[in-house]
A = this chain, B = another copy of it.
Amino acid sequence: MFSLSEENYLKAILHLQKTSKSGVNTNALAEEMQTKASSVTDMVKKLSEKNLVIYKKYQGVYLSDSGRKTALQIVRKHRLWEVFLVDKLSFSWDEVHEVAEQLEHIKSDKLITELDKFLKYPKRDPHGDPIPDAKGDFHVANKILLSNLSKGEHGTLVGVKDTSSEFLKYLDKNSIALGKTIQVLDKEEFDESMLIQTDGKSLRVSPMVAVNIYIKQ
């Protein structure tokens, strides 16, 4: 088994390699892990020793097959716990991250199998992100950003890019929620702000909001 720190690194590498064709940079990983570049180099060497990543000095780091598999299982656990917290313990979607960050490291195959069953095999977490199955497979939705919609178009809110508590609370406050239909009533050329309609109310949102909402048409 792997340490809490190793698991967090693998998850961070998985996350960063999605937005980068080449290897994950030491500095980017340090930023993501809230640590120093030198610490990252040390850990990356260790992960490489254990064949969880492919690493050549100065060339960035890549997950190996086994590293990717491990990382996906952590993500699976993280997201299943998030569903549990929201569906069963009445947490709101902006409160779950910190706790799931801890729960994802509990070691027990039976626990996660049974939790999955108890939650009725959910496909997505409270933020709309897909939950990998026991094999690591998951379904990627063909979603687009709200900012890419034109005036008159509409779609369903299927996810959020920014999952910070601040952003999620902003959405709550304005009745913008997962599964709701969003209609673009108007788009301002000047600042790219949008007048949208959802949950019966209309509201003007800045581009900063629009680029953090995923829509399925």
Contact = CB atoms under 8 A, between A and B. Distances in A.
Contacts of A89: 111, 114-115, 117-118
Nearest to A89: B114
A166 interface: no
How many copies, total? Answer: 2
A108 to B, nearest CB: 5
Contacts of A90: 114
Chain A interface size band reads 10 to 19
A73 to B, nearest CB: 16
A106 interface: yes
Question: At the interface, is chain A mostly helix, strand, loop or mixed?
Answer: helix
A106 B111 contact: no
A108 B99 contact: yes
A145 interface: no
A114 B89 CA distance: 5
A103 interface: yes
Nearest to A115: B89
Of A91, A111, A117, the most chain B CB neighbours within 10 A belong to A111
Nearest to A103: B106
